[in-house]
Chains A and B, each alone.
Chain A
Amino acid sequence: MAASARDVGDATAWSAEAARRVWGGAIPLHVHLHDADVTALPPPPPFLTLGPRIGYLPLLVPIIKAHFSSTLPPGVDTVWFEYKGLPLKWYIPIGVLFDLLCAEPERPWNLIVHFRGYPAEILSPCEGEDSVKWSYNNSLKEAAFIITGNSKNVMNMSQADQAAMWESVRKGDMDSYTNISTRLKLGLFEEDWSVATSSAERQQGSDEPESPGSVRPCRVPVRLYVRRVQEDLEYLEDAIAVSDWESVSYINRPFEIRKEEGKSYITLARALETLLPEFFSSKPAADTQPVETADSPPDDSDTTPRTPRDRDPAPASQRGADLTKNATEVKLVRVQGIDLQNNMDVPFLWMANYLKNPECYLHVCVYVGAGI
């Protein structure tokens, strides 16, 4: 772990490659026209295309519409997409939708496109590309606020820069994007900042109480999607399809860490423990409390199934064991198509830097087993 600074240096090229793959990643889509929108016989063949991971479904509408144009009914189009009965939220990046909704990756991904009957009670209205651009800019502004404490750099972007940035996202042109985004001064989270600052602070007296005014916590924009699956799910392909958005908890919450805490490097496990203590906590307070006082009041009917491990506050070396215990709950952790539940010691800030989407958010999908 002490070598992490050097590792980071060595890994620069590799990290850039990871980001490049995120930008280049695409989901093969097999788009079917909804039966109700078919006005010609025979019905048109499905349309095969690539949906960029960092892209958004409405951006594909022009090419999809061109393909189906001959059979569409006359009138105003209100386009939306569906997967196994679930209307897809257009403001979630395509890659995230895929990671979240296809437990076992389905290639090509079979989607249904509708040109009528927009489910306005479930989906925010979408006026095509403008809505997506607006939503993207809003997210970017929010991410900038999280990272720097204000949105000024995004708000003050020139029209030209704004347009150029959007073009780069729309086209998946990472180099142009990087050129413009560096002007936002959002920077990268320093992989080894915690190591560097904790030693520097020690010289000034490490036991100083934290003063909220002077020490800015490091805040990472994260969007979490927690999908409920069967408690006894063994094979991902058996996961029951998401039938409505209520079985997905969307958590738009930054990961926050103060310098004092940053004494060891932050793993994905650690970040998720902070963000989702219900599922990842290595020692849930409610669990340990009654067990530690074993000779206390009689309401311990539920303590029998506990293992001895629960009784001792877990030392660092046992953290892995605790995660295994929780693994019965957490079935899957997936970021940019990569399944990470067995690699929970990935450096979280590295992920935030290189696996993030262009709006500077790291999107994390988590599958949790629960009674359905």
Chain B
Amino acid sequence: MAGSSVWDGTLSLDEFSVSAKALVSKWGQIDVDDSLPDWAWRPCCRMGVPSETEGFLALEGVYQIEENNGLDDDGGIVEHDTWVQSSCDNVHVYDFHIAYSFSYKVPVLYFQGHEAGGQLLTIDDIKKDLSSQSLKTLSESKWTFITREEHPHLSLPWFTLHPCGTSDWMKLLLDKLGDKDRSLQYLSAWLSVVGQANTLSNPFQFFLGLLKDSSEFEALGLLNFPLTVWLAAVSVKLTDCQQENLSVERDFKREYCSSRNCNIHFLRLTGRPTVRIKTLNP
């Protein structure tokens, strides 16, 4: 308990690093089908000198497969191990980075997608990859909108979710936690919200799906519901999952899909599996 009675929803660079480490290890543990790419810490380099404290998280090579006639498309659930013939033009590969904003003192998600041939995706291409739920979140929510800005460490334009409202909703989300727990949980909680506005296949979102409908979650979060309960529940589920990947997956499919009127497909392509969420009623 540090004396600050009013927490403003922000975190310091040190807390960001702590939280990042926690996310990396937690993500490694809960990897749903064991071979989604992992988050990695990239130290930021200035004039060739890697920084000890500064850096960003990277999750690269997340495959997203577009609708394709060759796939089972009739609403049935696809077997976990469906192998897909690689057809380059319908594969989108996404890279996600989480960097620290010194201005807003919160994490910021940067992402970009490209086709298998290397061509960068435009915002319209990306929107086609988003689930209708994500599009809905984006259009309705005041605090999540996609812009294109310079990546703080790569000096290139990446897509980003604007961070100006982040501290406000993080404050509501984690207000009840003590300082130490807060730094540990910050990024995973943040990602569980940010991931919804995005194509990011987020295991946390899966469990969110198991427990609550995300719109309900948003409402609860914004009403300052004690989310510690939710986080505790998630951590229990995380442990279960390691033993029972498949049953969790099945449950997830059932719960998540029925609540969203969509199908989820677990696909495997060039050795990298991906999760495809297919909306039935676009």
Contact = CB atoms under 8 A, between A and B. Distances in A.
Whether A associates with B in a native complex is yes
Given A142-B104, A213-B4, A253-B103, 4 more contacts: A121-B156, A142-B103, A145-B164, A370-B48
Interface in A98-149: 120-125, 138, 141-142, 145-146, 149
30 contacts: A89-B150, A91-B150, A122-B156, A122-B157, A123-B157, A124-B149, A125-B148, A138-B147, A138-B162, A141-B164, A142-B164, A145-B103, A145-B104, A151-B164, A212-B2, A213-B3, A221-B103, A226-B46, A246-B155, A249-B155, A250-B150, A250-B155, A253-B103, A254-B102, A254-B103, A278-B46, A278-B47, A278-B49, A370-B47, A371-B48
A245 interface: yes
B120 A124 contact: no
A91 B6 CA distance: 36
Contact of B3 (A211, A228, A370): A211
B69 interface: no
A368 interface: yes
B191 to A, nearest CB: 22
Contact of B47 (A91, A213, A368): A368
A252 interface: yes
A138 B46 CA distance: 26
B120 A253 contact: no
Contacts of B104: 142, 145
A246 B148 CA distance: 19
Nearest to A125: B148
Contacts, number: 65
Interface residues of A, number: 33
Contact of A124 (B3, B47, B49, B157): B157
A254 B104 CA distance: 10
A101 to B, nearest CB: 14
Interface SS majority for chain A = loop
B72 interface: no
Contacts of B157: 120-125
Contact of A245 (B102, B103, B155): B155
A248 interface: yes
B87 interface: no
Contacts of A145: 103-104, 164
Contacts of A245: 155-156
Contacts of B5: 213
B150 A149 contact: no
A65 B231 CA distance: 57
B178 interface: no
A253 B53 CA distance: 15
Contacts of A248: 155
B124 to A, nearest CB: 12
A213 B103 CA distance: 18
B266 to A, nearest CB: 32
Interface in B177-222: none
B75 interface: no
Contacts of A141: 164
Interface in B137-192: 147-150, 152, 155-157, 162, 164
B14 interface: no
Nearest to A253: B102
Nearest to B147: A138
B102 A252 contact: yes
Interface in B22-50: 46-49
Contacts of B240: none
Contact of A121 (B4, B48, B103, B120): B120
Contacts of B3: 211-213
Given A145-B103, A221-B103, A368-B47, A213 B150 contact: no
A279 B155 CA distance: 20
